[in-house]
Amino acid sequence: MLNILSDFLVQNDQGYFCKYGGFYIDALKPVGLNIISHAHGDHATKGHGHIFATKETVALMKARYGNSIALEVSQIPLRKNFKVNGVEVTLYPAGHMLGSAQILMEYQGVRYLYTGDYKLNGDRTCEQFEFTNADVLITETTFADPKVEHPDVKQEILKLNNKGFDILLGCYAMGKAQSINALINTHCPELEVVVHPHILTFHKIYNEFLAKKDQLQFTTYNQKLLKHSANNRIFLLPPNIFNRSHYSPLQLKAFVSGWQHLHKHNDLAIYISDHADWKDIILVIKRIQPKQVWTVHGDGRQLKEHQKGNMLVKTLEKENL
């Protein structure tokens, strides 16, 4: 009989802690040992003793933080088993962004799978989410609401076509900007993508890792391009630049996000998310077939109610200090 340890992974002020392996996952503050699921700033921080992450995640972190990410860095290939103080760990693709990984931890015959952030729809800028069996699924619940269903990605990106204006498109600089660039290249090839300098560094790293056929096609931003309308340009801007940009009557504004409140006061709403929605989370549970589900990054109450009578669903426990 499986002995699932209810405190195998707990939450404290530093992040998610596995006391049985003496390591953290996606630590928020500097710690000794840290396994990092992906390079977004709410998961990947600097100043650690030793980190484990995919090579893509390490490259993106160094672009943001320099060499201060950790004293020691272990770049871990996907699907390759490694051990941390008695806990066997394997990284599997999460489909969230370049280098993103689920973290499978095996201890005393029990498989604990931390998804990190993930999405199921295909994306040529990163490996697609890979299903692997687990006894305990530790899933993000950013959009764990039956009322939330992300629209078709292709149909959303096609909204950019045939507008007769250049479009200022707000998006997060790392991950989202590259995914959107790839979608435009694929589905709106007649549109020219112009990339702001604050995004350019991450574009270059993506192209270093992407196969030639998948590399991002774009033009580097300059003020002259912005002043002269061509009616077929998409300017990718990070949120801080987008929010203070003054645009002419010959330009439209849009933001790319799964969050409805971010589309206020814009000319277009592009609903594209890098997170799983309700139906995706339900599918992941069905495919992985866990005995228990632990929830993180969001509100798991509706998921708990949905699975009532089928399996234990709980919010990840706080560490008892």
Q: Is the pTM of this model over 0.85?
A: yes
Please write the tens of the pLDDT for every residue from 166-209.
999 999 999 999 999 999 999 999 999 999 999 999 999 999 99
| Residue found by looking up tokens 């160094």 in the block | 62
Distance from C-alpha of 233 to C-alpha of 226, rounded to nearest angstrom: 9
Residue 260's pLDDT is 79
Find the helix packing angle between 197-209 and 55-65, rounded to 10°: 160
Which domains does the chain possess? 10-146+275-315 (3.60.15.10), 153-270 (3.40.50.10890)
The pLDDT value given to residue 221 = 87
Q: Where are the alpha helices (DSSP H) in the chain?
A: 55-65, 153-157, 176-187, 197-209, 223-227, 239-243, 278-288, 301-306
Instruction: Please state, in angstroms and rounded to a whole number, the distance separating the CA atoms of residues 297 and 50.
Output: 24
pLDDT of the chain, 321 residues: tens digit per residue = 899 999 999 999 999 999 999 999 999 999 999 999 999 999 999 999 999 999 999 999 999 999 999 999 999 999 999 999 999 999 999 999 999 999 999 999 999 999 999 999 988 999 999 999 999 999 999 999 999 999 999 999 999 998 889 999 999 999 999 999 999 999 999 999 999 999 999 999 999 999 999 999 999 988 777 766 778 999 999 999 888 766 666 789 999 988 777 777 888 999 999 999 999 999 999 999 999 999 999 999 999 999 999 999 999 988 765
